[in-house]
């Protein structure tokens, strides 16, 4: 019985850690934006599309992820979404265009919606 209580605290800590990383992920692009825009030649209009892609995917992803989590189960769905989230985050480094960056941001936003689903 004592092991289950300790396990619950570990799970709470893990979910809190993931939520903090989720918010850090969202703000990282804003901090790096001036450098990215300068080195890649992305315009302010293109940057706004990149940010909008994330916001739109996150917004649309919340009810979808809520349904996905209810259907598949919490453990498996979080594992799948965390893998997609990680791949999308790594994919940012591989994109050379603003549209590729917008796609990666959208993929990241959609998968991050699982952290706080509707």
- Kindly state the tokens that stand for 108: 């990241």
| Region for residue 13 given its phi and psi (left: phi exceeds 0; alpha: psi -120 to 50; beta: otherwise) | alpha
pTM: 0.84
In a domain, 66, yes or no: yes
Task: Indicate the number of domains in the chain.
Answer: 1
Tokens 């979080």 -> residue: 78
- Give per-residue burial for 78-98: e unless 16+ CB within 10 Å, then b: beebbebbeebbebbeeeeeb
Residue 117 lies inside a defined structural domain of this protein? no
pLDDT at 4: 67
Residue 37 lies in a domain: yes
Predicted pLDDT of residue 19:
84
Q: Shortest CA distance to 101 belongs to which of 31, 52, 34? A: 52
The string of pLDDT tens digits covering residues 81-112 is 999 999 999 999 999 899 999 999 999 999 99
Whether 73 is in a domain gets the answer yes
Give the C-alpha separation, 84 to 15, whole Å.
17
pLDDT at 50: 96
28's CB contacts (< 8 A; 6+ apart) are none
In which domain, by residue range, is 18 found? 2-112
Is 118 inside any structural domain?
A: no
Confidence of residue 38 (pLDDT cuts 50, 70, 90): very high
């Amino acid at each position: 019985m004592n092991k289950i209580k300790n396990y619950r605290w570990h799970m709470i800590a893990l979910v809190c850690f993931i939520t903090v990383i989720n918010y850090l992920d969202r703000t990282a692009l804003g901090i790096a934006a001036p450098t990215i825009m300068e080195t890649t030649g992305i315009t302010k209009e293109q940057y706004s599309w990149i940010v909008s892609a994330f916001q739109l995917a996150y917004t649309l992803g919340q009810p979808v992820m809520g349904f996905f989590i209810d259907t598949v189960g919490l453990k498996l769905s979080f594992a799948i979404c965390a893998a997609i989230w990680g791949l999308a985050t790594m994919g940012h480094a591989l994109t050379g265009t603003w549209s590729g960056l917008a796609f990666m941001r959208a993929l990241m936003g959609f998968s991050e919606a699982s952290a706080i689903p509707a």
